[in-house]
Structure 1
Amino acid sequence: MRKVIVYSLLLIIGLFSSQLLPNIFTYYNQLQPLIMISTMTALSYIMINVGREFEIDKNNLKQYRWDYIVAMTTATFPWIAVVVYFIFVLFPAELWT
């Protein structure tokens, strides 16, 4: 549980600093490529390690059914919400008639 709290705090600190750094430092635009490369490197390292630890028990595939449904809805619902937003909010009113 301690790891979750530490990583959550690091995430919050990162979110706040990403919004504050461009306003505080005048040389932020010069550092931005370095920050983006280091961020993408760290994210790729995390994703590779997650993939390395992933194992499927092929003898008992039924246990993954609910996991698949949760993953599918987690990935699909935001896209459906974006489509609904674009159609009903951003679509020009004159095209509705």
Structure 2
Amino acid sequence: MMNADQVTKLCSTLSLKGRKGPLMSFDRDLKEDGEKQLAFRLVGKALSNNLVNRESFISTVLKIWRLVERVDIEAVDGNIFSFTFKNVEDRRRVFLGGP
């Protein structure tokens, strides 16, 4: 196990200055690609003090939303879910109208 002095010494050697060799160039399209992907995604939380049943929650949300196209739903953590829509209009309608 390292002590605090060893960790401090290792951290002091970290630097972006003076790096030798070629640097990886930043992909300018990366931001645009990320924005396109986010245009189809929402993150939401089921407001409950108890952990919701994932399958029941997903089934209920799909019935309430009545989407044109399908949506991929992932449990992120606890009652937090990620929704990836296949249709931007479905995403917009859900975002504006809830629940």
TM-score range, shorter chain: under 0.3
**If each structure's helix is expressed as a fraction of its own residues, which one has the higher value?**
1
**If each structure's strand is expressed as a fraction of its own residues, which one has the higher value?**
2
TM-score, structure 1 normalization: 0.22
TM-score, structure 2 normalization: 0.22
Greater RCO structure (CA 8 Å; 6+ sep)? 2
